[in-house]
Chain A
Amino acid sequence: MNRAAAHLLTRLYPRRWRERYGAEFEAFLATGRGGLRASANVVWSALFEHIFPTPGLKTDQQPRSFGVIVRQPSAFLPLAMSFTALALVLGHVALFGAVREADEGATAHLWQLLMAGQMPVLAFFAIKWLPRAPRPTLGVLALQAGAALASMAPIFFLNL
């Protein structure tokens, strides 16, 4: 496997794992067989390490407050998707009025994609963070649910 690919794949692991095994793992990948199968195995193992961290590895001492957790990509991405969906609906209403259309247009399809697309991200966020910091994670999940409901509200209340 070439060194750039080995470096990129190693970067997929959590920082505290990389601090201990990163250098040797990267060298191990760079001197081994590459290929799709090996790369897929590393991607899956890195994801597994994020969800089920190796017990006993020195953990980072960052406080796991609401503010820290809500800045995680898997926390703010669903929020951004919900607010984008809300902006799409409100923009559509502002431009064309609150009229129900027989055929679903591009706006409706985009809204559906944004709402459905955030589901796997939400699931990943909940699986990763609920065991580590339940209380602030529940707060972020409530915020995400609120944002999703806010983007659904115009659809129901304006009967779009």
Chain B
Amino acid sequence: MGHYSDPPLLVLASLASGPKHGHAMIEDIAGMCGTRLGPGTLYGAIARLEQQGWIVPLPPEERRQPYRITAEGLRVLRAKLTTLRHFAKAGLGRLEAS
């Protein structure tokens, strides 16, 4: 409990601060919210995000494959985080009222 887990959203949020490869994403996400994505989970999210056009691969660096977020990905991330902020605000408001 307490760890947020929506792998595609976590990957988008990680890439919002700049391009990263898989291991860097895992460490960044763990530092951001405490969730450590498994390798299969991470690549499942990467595959779906790339097919939706929300992230794109960059030229490989040695054996590592970095990805960057697209403009459409940034728009989706902003929309999802805004919804989450409203949801969190409403939920916390109810907790304080009770």
Contact = CB atoms under 8 A, between A and B. Distances in A.
A42 B47 contact: no
Given A38-B39, A41-B40, A44-B40, A24 B60 contact: yes
14 contacts: A25-B43, A28-B39, A28-B43, A28-B64, A28-B65, A32-B39, A38-B38, A41-B40, A44-B40, A45-B40, A54-B47, A54-B48, A55-B48, A56-B51
Interface of B: 21-23, 26, 38-41, 43-44, 46-48, 51-52, 60, 63-65
A48 B23 CA distance: 22
Interface residues of A, number: 25
A46 to B, nearest CB: 7
A49 B44 contact: yes
Given A21-B46, A48-B40, 17 more contacts: A17-B47, A25-B43, A27-B64, A28-B21, A28-B39, A32-B22, A32-B26, A38-B38, A41-B40, A42-B39, A45-B38, A45-B41, A54-B44, A54-B48, A55-B48, A56-B52, A57-B51
Contacts of A32: 22-23, 26, 39
Contacts of B22: 28, 32
A89 B31 CA distance: 61
Nearest first, the 8 closest Cβ-Cβ pairs linking A and B are: A45-B40, A41-B38, A56-B51, A42-B40, A24-B65, A27-B63, A54-B47, A41-B40
Contacts of A109: none
